Amino acid sequence: MSFQRLVPVIVAIIALGTGAAGDASCANAKGRRKSKGKSMEIRNEVNELLRRFDRTDEVEALNIALELIESTELDSSTPKMGGPGSRTEKVRLFLSLLNHIDAKVVPGFDFKNPPSISTAPPDEVQLPAGVDPEAIKDPRLRAQYEKEIAANQHKLKIYSYQMDLQEKDRACVELLETYISEHYSRSSEKALHALIDETITSKARASQLKGRASALLAHLR
């Protein structure tokens, strides 16, 4: 076959190869856009859950947000630190959740002083704890007892809520530390500390997190 007859064949092969490369490049670009879009979607969903928690004190919103952050596989190789889909973005979400918990925590809350299982009525009536207020004939003593019941129920509500926050705090920190140990190295310590300082509102919390992060990274390369 002469060279002239081969020219159209060669041109077709080159065109086919170029088209395939173009398709692959297009597919990669679409994949990056999809990843970026999904990351933004996750961030928006988490932020909406945290706003819901702020408005309602609903701990379930924290549960859902934490599960969403933990289960999300963001691209740890994204070169732009803090960009959508990067490992920094995931850490930032964990830190943001801790900020929202801190805003609801009662400083110095005494967990060693729990509410009573049942409220005892005034000694004068000589009735067992938990008795129905209607069993107390004296209106003054009955009113006193009802007031003490209401106070104990209020104490129980606050105590239970603070316990829930403590549990979510512990769970979030554990997941954050696991993620740091799996996706960061000792060379990232300075950047990680900067991210904590930039994101965390409480100085005490930031100091604690940086100390724990340094301890984790000290065992890594």
Delimit the domains of the chain by residue range: 37-217
Cβ of 205: how many Cβ atoms within 10 Å?
A: 19
pLDDT digits (tens, 9 = 90+) for 61-74: 999 999 999 988 76
Angstrom distance (rounded) from CA 17 to CA 64: 47
- The better pLDDT of the pair 36, 101 is held by 101
Unique residue bearing structure tokens 């100390």: 211
> CB of 69 within 8 A of CB of 46?
yes
The CA dihedral of 85, 34, 62, 58, to the nearest 10 degrees, is: 140
Contacts of 43 (CB under 8 A, 6+ apart): 84, 89, 93
Average pLDDT over residues 2-14: 46
Unique residue bearing structure tokens 């994204």: 78
Angstrom distance (rounded) from CA 203 to CA 206: 5
Residue 18 has pLDDT above 60, yes or no: no
Furthest CA-CA distance within the chain: 119
3-state DSSP helix/strand/coil % of the chain, to nearest 5: 75, 0, 25
pLDDT bucket at 5, cuts 50 / 70 / 90 = low
Closest CA to 200 of 62, 100, 107, 63: 100
Residue 25 has pLDDT above 90, yes or no: no
Q: 215: helix, coil or strand?
A: helix
The model carries a pTM of: 0.75
Contacts of 46 (CB under 8 A, 6+ apart): 65, 68, 69, 93, 96, 97
What is the three-state SS of 92-138?
HHHHHHHHHHHCCCCCCCCCCCCCCCCCCCCHHHCCCCCCCHHHCCC
Structure tokens at 205: 């919390």
- Mean pLDDT of all residues belonging to the chain: 83
